[in-house]
Amino acid sequence: MDHGMTEQLNVQQMAQRLMTADNILILCHKNPDGDTIGCGSALYCALKALDKNVAVLCSDAIPNRYAFTNAHMFKGEFEPQTVVAVDVASVQLFGENNGMTQFSRHVDLCIDHHAGNSGYADFTLLNGSAAAAAELLYEVINAMGVAITPHIADCLYTGLATDTGCFRFSSTTANTHIVAAKLIEAGCHVEELNTLLFDTKPRERMEAERIARNHLEYYLDGRCALIYLTRDEIEQSGVDPADLEELTSLPVSIEGVKVGLTLRQQPGGSYRISVRTAKGVDACAIARRLGGGGHSRAAGCELLGNLENAKNAILAEVEAELDAPQEEA
Amino acid sequence: MDHGMTEQLNVQQMAQRLMTADNILILCHKNPDGDTIGCGSALYCALKALDKNVAVLCSDAIPNRYAFTNAHMFKGEFEPQTVVAVDVASVQLFGENNGMTQFSRHVDLCIDHHAGNSGYADFTLLNGSAAAAAELLYEVINAMGVAITPHIADCLYTGLATDTGCFRFSSTTANTHIVAAKLIEAGCHVEELNTLLFDTKPRERMEAERIARNHLEYYLDGRCALIYLTRDEIEQSGVDPADLEELTSLPVSIEGVKVGLTLRQQPGGSYRISVRTAKGVDACAIARRLGGGGHSRAAGCELLGNLENAKNAILAEVEAELDAPQEEA
Ligand SMILES: [Mn+2]
Ligand SMILES: [Mn+2]
């Protein structure tokens, strides 16, 4: 993996650089998730505790469910001297709104857990085996000698829990649980956060899921399951399209299913296809054949044409992959 | 809380009694869940490692998804001298099949985490703040000096994860996460287990959920949401009724909903009503008015009569509770 011209730092070195900096601007990635926002807010509080000028910048609006993190958003109140990115794997992910491009051109520090981090920052703390950037940032804040307040713990727990599907995803390690324990001991509101993050779904989301479940279809002797939503259905349900991400894990969760497909019609009429696979089946190989890409268990592609064409095209590739001779491990 | 005539033991004392025992029969509760089976299997392995005669007994069959725990079920191959119950709160929960009543009459040892444990055993290790009996049993096996093998870790992780909804329920504490970390370090197959326990649903379960979601209704200005399944629908879907438990958490997970109701028609025609509430609303108070009971956030009752009657009766009590003047905290 090429990590560009960046210099790799360890936790102590990153803490040292943050402690000697001031007028610090923290950058989150676009379409912000719980990890980038939780880290932005936690680092904001930690640096504020050290009496520094600090603010957070994000190209997109902070979703309501993360409003409680209450980060101070940058409004030009100081001249940023140190720019630090949290949970951002590459420059493209900064986005272009809210004056982002002015600052994302030159990033001083980066704290990240994406193994593919492009190395765009001058100095990077990267740990690809951390389940969330928050898992790493917890160590950095400790190394800065700043107390983990209940609010900082809430922000870091949000990053840790959302990036792991509440400790369910395969990225979860012993250290992830150890950090969760430390955050609970530090006073994070684990009960309220779990309800907010995992058990609170908008009505519109429920309606879209109802429609998608009514469209559940099985193929290839039950080895493939497929759901879909047309543009009309998405619009009639009133769902925020960002809230549909989670649906993509539904078809592959059915017993016996090796490949789960979710087809969502885009505003232009094309179908965005999310491919999720059971262990041992390569999602990326399927998506790549149709011009897409991704990871081994989660990949995607986009197909022009109507629903029937899109289904037939993707199902043909699923069948080819499932019936391909298995490579030696 | 009355804990009967039992003598309370600490972890060391329980470990000591197990180490000096032999010809040990481990009892699980009826309708076995991941905690009672995980504990039964883990304790079986630990005692086997100490070269003891040991077997497990359960009144009901072990569900397929827990078959991997592979406990040796009792077939009369030795004369039990010490009977130990795991995760069983009261004598009624032993059930009456598989020759259970012969042994549940006199229980020597009990390891449990239900605060309301009735104290039926001669000696009890009880910790009501443990999220699972497995959290406690982990300490006992350590105190016995038995190594936590990967298989023992798998069994204990199963108990811990299933009883907490994968670390989501309010019973999850810092210690729950610490034990999870130790089990992962001991080699438990966390990725495979999470897939098996939380992301593998039978087709029949999907079909029943589809039907229930099509029946979603809102009441009382959206403060109450209700789903239902008639007997015909349950039978047509082919779902194992035990697999419908999880559905009861669906209605209350909708934004703005304070009381979630799930009505399931029973073989006799009556409706079993599950009441789930948001924090601050007393589910037990609602269920009690109709002859039921339960906990503050999860309760239930059973009503004779047709669907409309059952709906009207429970909705009247929900309205009364939601509109009742709030008591001082
Ligand atoms: Mn992340
Ligand atoms: Mn239990």
pLDDT tens digits for range A296-328: 888 999 999 899 999 999 999 999 999 987 654
Query: What are the chain B neighbours of A191 within 8 Å (beta carbons)?
Result: 170, 279
C-alpha B23/C-alpha B12 separation (Å) is: 21
- Judged by a CB distance cut-off of 8 A, whether residue A128 touches chain B is no
Q: What is the mean pLDDT of residues B245-271?
A: 95
The residue among B293 and B122 whose pLDDT is bigger is B122
Residue among A293, A11, A252 at smallest CA distance from A126: A11
**Long-range contacts formed by A209-218: CB under 8 A, 24+ apart:** A209/A247, A209/A250, A209/B213, A210/B213, A210/B214, A210/B216, A211/A237, A212/A247, A212/A250, A212/A262, A213/A250, A213/B206, A213/B209, A213/B210, A213/B213, A214/B210, A214/B214, A216/A251, A216/B206, A216/B210, A218/A257, A218/B203
CB contact under 8 A, A201 and B172: no
Query: What are the chain B neighbours of A173 within 8 Å (beta carbons)?
Result: 184
Q: Confidence band (pLDDT; 50, 70, 90) for B3?
A: low
Q: What is the mean pLDDT of residues A103-122?
A: 95
Listed by start position, the domains of chain B span 7-198, 203-323
Strand partners, A244: none
Nearest ligand (C-alpha, residue B127): 2
Which residue, among B65, B158, B177, would best test binding to A if mutated, counting the most A CBs under 10 Å from its CB? B177
Angle at B146 between CA B145 and CA B147, to 5 degrees: 115
Which residue, among A156, A162, A167, would best test binding to B if mutated, counting the most B CBs under 10 Å from its CB? A167
* CATH fold for domain A203-323: Diaminopimelate Epimerase; Chain A, domain 1 (3.10.310)
Closest chain B CA to residue A189: B170
C-alpha B307/C-alpha B289 separation (Å) is: 18
Calculate how close chain B gets to A120, using CA atoms only, in Å: 32
- Judged by a CB distance cut-off of 8 A, whether residue B194 touches chain A is yes
- Judged by a CB distance cut-off of 8 A, whether residue A273 touches chain B is no
Determine the distance separating the centroid of ligand 1 and the alpha carbon of A193, expressed in angstroms: 17
3-state secondary structure (DSSP) of residue A22: coil
pLDDT per position as a tens digit, A8-17 = 999 999 999 9
Structure confidence at residue A326 (pLDDT): 65
Find tokens 């603010």 and name the residue.
A55
Determine the distance separating the centroid of ligand 1 and the alpha carbon of A155, expressed in angstroms: 13
C-alpha B329/C-alpha B316 separation (Å) is: 25
CB contact under 8 A, A184 and B167: no
Q: Phi first, then psi: what are they for B226, rounded to 5°?
A: -135, 135
Which residue, among B207, B226, B255, B279, would best test binding to A if mutated, counting the most A CBs under 10 Å from its CB? B255
- Judged by a CB distance cut-off of 8 A, whether residue B187 touches chain A is no
Cβ neighbors of A194 (< 8 A, separation 6 or more) are A161, A166, B168, B169, B170, B172
Q: Is the pLDDT of residue B305 over 90?
A: no
Determine the distance separating the centroid of ligand 2 and the alpha carbon of B132, expressed in angstroms: 4
Determine the distance separating the centroid of ligand 2 and the alpha carbon of A193, expressed in angstroms: 23
Q: Confidence band (pLDDT; 50, 70, 90) for B4?
A: low
How many residues does the structure list for chain B? 329
Structure confidence at residue B294 (pLDDT): 82
CA distances from A297 to A1, A248, B267 (A): 20, 12, 42
pLDDT per position as a tens digit, B80-138 = 999 999 999 999 999 999 999 999 999 999 999 998 899 999 999 999 999 999 999 99
- What ipTM describes this predicted complex? 0.90
CB contact under 8 A, A199 and B253: yes
Structure confidence at residue A329 (pLDDT): 40
Query: What are the chain A neighbours of B202 within 8 Å (beta carbons)?
Result: 254-255
Q: What is the mean pLDDT of residues A166-195?
A: 96
Q: Which two tokens stand for residue B172?
A: 């999850």
Query: What are the chain A neighbours of B177 within 8 Å (beta carbons)?
Result: 177-178, 180-181, 184
C-alpha B41/C-alpha B156 separation (Å) is: 9
Q: Confidence band (pLDDT; 50, 70, 90) for A44?
A: very high
Q: Which two tokens stand for residue B122?
A: 């001669």
Q: Confidence band (pLDDT; 50, 70, 90) for A239?
A: very high
Nearest ligand (C-alpha, residue A28): 1
C-alpha A257/C-alpha B58 separation (Å) is: 31
Domains A7-198 and A203-323 equal at CATH topology level: no
CA distances from B56 to A138, B15, B23, B41, B197 (A): 43, 18, 11, 8, 22
Among candidates A173, A181, A216 on the partner chain, residue whose Cβ is nearest the Cβ of B178: A181
Q: What is the mean pLDDT of residues B142-165?
A: 97
* CA dihedral angle for residue A111, residue A116, residue A119, residue A123, rounded to 10 degrees: 30
- Judged by a CB distance cut-off of 8 A, whether residue B175 touches chain A is yes
Structure confidence at residue B329 (pLDDT): 40
Q: What is the mean pLDDT of residues A64-69?
A: 94
Which residue, among A129, A173, A178, A252, would best test binding to B if mutated, counting the most B CBs under 10 Å from its CB? A178
C-alpha B264/C-alpha B241 separation (Å) is: 9
- Judged by a CB distance cut-off of 8 A, whether residue B171 touches chain A is no
Pick the CATH number of A7-198 from 3.30.450.20, 3.20.20.150, 3.90.1640.10, 3.40.50.620: 3.90.1640.10
Report, in this order, helix, strand and coil percent for chain A, each rounded to 5.
40, 15, 40
Query: What are the chain B neighbours of A296 within 8 Å (beta carbons)?
Result: none
Strands (DSSP E) contained in B207-327 are 217-219, 224-229, 259-265, 271-277, 293-294, 298-303
- Sign, CA torsion A192/B228/B225/A69: positive
Structure confidence at residue A325 (pLDDT): 75
pLDDT per position as a tens digit, A244-288 = 988 999 999 999 999 999 999 999 999 999 999 999 999 999 999
Find tokens 């982002």 and name the residue.
A100
Q: Is the pLDDT of residue B2 over 60?
A: no
Residue among A60, A68, A93, A75 at smallest CA distance from A25: A75
> If you average pLDDT over every residue of chain A, what do you get?
95
Among candidates A168, A175, A181 on the partner chain, residue whose Cβ is nearest the Cβ of B174: A181
Calculate how close chain B gets to A315, using CA atoms only, in Å: 20
Instruction: Find out whether A134 and A39 touch, Cβ atoms under 8 Å.
Output: yes
Structure confidence at residue A305 (pLDDT): 86
Among candidates A175, A185, A253 on the partner chain, residue whose Cβ is nearest the Cβ of B201: A253
Among candidates B168, B177, B206 on the partner chain, residue whose Cβ is nearest the Cβ of A216: B206
Residue among B194, B203, B288, B192 at smallest CA distance from B238: B203
- % of chain A residues with pLDDT over 90: 90
Instruction: Find out whether A215 and A247 touch, Cβ atoms under 8 Å.
Output: no
C-alpha B26/C-alpha A325 separation (Å) is: 46
C-alpha A198/C-alpha A203 separation (Å) is: 14
Strands (DSSP E) contained in chain B are 7-8, 24-27, 54-57, 82-86, 109-112, 123-126, 217-219, 224-229, 259-265, 271-277, 293-294, 298-303
Q: Phi first, then psi: what are they for B60, rounded to 5°?
A: -115, 165
Q: What is the mean pLDDT of residues A185-193?
A: 97
CB contact under 8 A, B175 and A166: no
3-state secondary structure (DSSP) of residue B275: strand
How many residues does the structure list for chain A? 329
CB atoms within 10 A of CB A1: 9
Closest chain A CA to residue B188: A174
- Judged by a CB distance cut-off of 8 A, whether residue A221 touches chain B is no
Which residue, among B190, B204, B209, would best test binding to A if mutated, counting the most A CBs under 10 Å from its CB? B190
Among candidates B174, B184, B195 on the partner chain, residue whose Cβ is nearest the Cβ of A173: B184
Structure confidence at residue A6 (pLDDT): 95
pTM given for the model: 0.91
Cβ neighbors of B175 (< 8 A, separation 6 or more) are A181, B130, B135
Q: Is the pLDDT of residue A187 over 60?
A: yes
